[in-house]
Structure 1
Amino acid sequence: MLTVNAYAATAATDPLVPTAIERRDLGPHDVLIEIKYAGICHSDIHTARGDWGPAAYPLVPGHEIAGIVAEVGAAVTRHAVGDRVGVGCMVDSCRECDNCRQGEEQYCVPGNTLTYGSVGADGEVTQGGYSTHIVVTEDFVVTIPDGIALDVAAPLLCAGITTYSPLRHWGAGPGKQVAVVGLGGLGHMAVKIAHAMGAEVTVLSQSLRKRDDGLRLGADHYHATSDPQTFKTLTRRFDLIVNTVSAPIDVDRHLRLLALDGALVNVGAPAEPMTLNVFSLLAGRRSYAGSMIGGIRETQEMLDFCAEHGIGAEIELIDADRINEAWERVLASDVRYRFVIDAATFTER
């Protein structure tokens, strides 16, 4: 067992603290990764604070992991010592259900093993990327192309794939009108990726405060949802709306912005339920859907796409002792657009 430095949540209401955790010995197909950078996702906060259900404490969050392979098991063929690699939201799945066989491990029927807060194959609760090292089976480790720096690559392992997957699935591309609700950690990646796919991109945000950023990142248009005129001007405009916010929205108002056969897709996951009037769907054969991260194959595809188009996250790099401050700023929407932790700053308690 390898003992490594980490930061952990010890209760739903307490700040994270430095700690030490143990990583399992390498099995034949395992990869030991020296973590260089770990992104801070809103999901980390939701999970640690019990918004989505009880958590097992102590809990080390983090599922946006970029690092270097430090050691491999005897049977590993996909990765070698020194490789630049990443780990996202999953570290295992059943491998046998129909969804897994199709490369959609995020929809594993028995349930996949999450990077933190799940029970792994060894019977232990998984601990995530707010740490110096992690051990992951090779099939759930992806290659980070040389064209992306590791610090800006880390958020791609969640924010990148979470937005790439629905954009690809619902056919974002030339001739398509795509709207992105919210310009945060997920939203800014959606704008970059949709633009690179060739779609005409509109940001729908509460205010025009980030308008200049949105246009710089690739948006063609930017509208404030706090202005009632926005919902009149944009009626029946979009083929696809990707909702990235983790708070309730007026679903009916947004559905009315869809053209015939358009889709509103949720990737943000608010703790509160949302409702809709079914007539908002009937009038235009509209769809209301959800999308959750992406499979391992698609995650690699996304990374290759981002490298080809020069896409990385917009980040604020922080030391580990600023994690609690960063969490509060995430809750206040005070980050442009993703905090990334320098794993070299994890220290012993």
Structure 2
Amino acid sequence: MAPVAIERRALRPNDVLLDVMYCGVCHSDIHAINSDWGKTNYPCVPGHEAVGKVIAIGSAVTKFRVGDIGGVGCMVDSCGTCEQCLQDREQSCVNATTFTYDAPDKVSGGYTYGGYSDKMVVAEHFVIRIPPGMDLAAAAPLLCAGVTTFSPIRHWQVKPGQRVGVVGLGGLGHMAVKLAVAQHARVTVFTTSPGKLADANRLGAEDAVLWTEAAAMTKLTNQFDLIISTVPEAYDMQPFIQALKVDATMVNVGALGTLEGGISGMGLAFGRKSLAGSMIGGIAETQEVIDYCNARNIKADVEVIRPDQINLAFDRVTKKDVRYRFVIDMAASKI
């Protein structure tokens, strides 16, 4: 990663100009710059957890005024007319969602640039209202890590007293714990890092297990109503399928490449268990998680860095050396 000059489009009537203040570092950013999910178009400007001050608005904007705080998550455009968009699921737009970076830009041509930048120009529909008084650095990760884990908790209707497993305790995982605990679920964290066992309890989990220990996993057979997998790489999911109750679901929100084989079809069939996927959430749901967390003082655990520390931060994320989300203070680049 190195500094580069980019151009933003002139404001259209429905556009908002944000002076970016903070942007979270998602593991997806590392996958993108490494072309792990297909060839990346360089130069690539990552960042889909951006929070900034509104410094200008188009003539037709009604959602924001100059001086408001807005957030930009994982997408900046969609067709707005297909079945998915009309049901507030813009992330699944039939005519192709425009993601916040390295996606074909249907307005300006070329490819979109993300939030590791001084300013962003985004259509008002895709800018999230950040309530006054929120901790802005801690709010930034809610725009991806928050909604990505909030959405399955909502969709699978987690109820008080149910057992929820969270696989992986990183940027997504720690938010999954906090949000499931807020629903009064009984949460168990599965991790490969012994140093995170105590931290899982601090975050509100009832239990924490090293999933490399076969005996510990066997004891949890048929115990969980929902398991959320936040691990960003493929791994053997069969032990977690076994941990599901009858009719329960394991939902993958982390590994977006090819998953590993070995899942027992018979085990799925006899337990009527499900392996599902979920990706972020729509704009309405992203606003919902921001408001939900604001009302309950739920924050991401963040470590704030300067822009010149991004490469070091990427190395540390890869080594699982962050508790639990790096957030770039973009204002530090303007001093």
TM-score, scaled relative to structure 2: 0.97
Work out the CA distance in 2 between the residues paired with 1:273 and 1:187: 19
Work out the CA distance in 2 between the residues paired with 1:80 and 1:124: 29
Q: CA RMSD in A?
A: 1.2
Identify which range, 99-108 or 247-256, moves more after superposition.
247-256
Work out the CA distance in 2 between the residues paired with 1:67 and 1:230: 45
Following superposition, the deviation at residue 51 of structure 1 comes to 0.3
Work out the CA distance in 1 between the residues paired with 2:93 and 2:209: 37
Q: Is 1:92–2:92 an aligned residue pair?
A: no
Give the gaps of 5 or more residues in structure 2: none
Q: Deviations over 1:209-242 (max 9, x none)?
A: 2122111111111111011112211100000000
Work out the CA distance in 2 between the residues paired with 1:297 and 1:146: 19
Q: How does 1:5-154 map to 2 (within 5 A)?
A: 16-120=1-105, 121-154=107-140
- Identical-residue share of aligned pairs (%): 51
Work out the CA distance in 2 between the residues paired with 1:313 and 1:68: 20
Work out the CA distance in 1 between the residues paired with 2:256 and 2:7: 32
| 3-state DSSP of counterpart to 1:145 | coil
Contact 1:180/1:190 (<8 A) preserved: yes
Match of 1:329 in 2: 316
Q: 1:217 aligns with which of 178, 197, 203?
A: 203
Work out the CA distance in 1 between the residues paired with 2:334 and 2:309: 13
Identify which range, 19-28 or 146-155, moves more after superposition.
146-155
Following superposition, the deviation at residue 283 of structure 1 comes to 2.1
| 3-state DSSP of counterpart to 1:209 | helix
Give the gaps of 5 or more residues in structure 1: 1-15
Following superposition, the deviation at residue 136 of structure 1 comes to 0.1
| 3-state DSSP of counterpart to 1:22 | coil
Following superposition, the deviation at residue 170 of structure 1 comes to 0.7
Work out the CA distance in 2 between the residues paired with 1:274 and 1:310: 38
Q: How does 1:237-276 map to 2 (within 5 A)?
A: 237-275=223-261, 276=263
Following superposition, the deviation at residue 173 of structure 1 comes to 2.4
Match of 1:173 in 2: 159
Following superposition, the deviation at residue 151 of structure 1 comes to 0.4
Following superposition, the deviation at residue 106 of structure 1 comes to 0.5
Match of 2:330 in 1: 343
Match of 2:147 in 1: 161
Match of 1:8 in 2: none
Contact 2:235/2:259 (<8 A) preserved: no
Match of 1:302 in 2: 289
Aligned length: 333
TM-score, scaled relative to structure 1: 0.93
Contact 2:51/2:71 (<8 A) preserved: yes
Work out the CA distance in 1 between the residues paired with 2:48 and 2:283: 14
Work out the CA distance in 1 between the residues paired with 2:268 and 2:160: 25
| 3-state DSSP of counterpart to 1:54 | coil
Match of 1:279 in 2: 266
Work out the CA distance in 2 between the residues paired with 1:130 and 1:271: 24
Contact 1:18/1:346 (<8 A) preserved: no
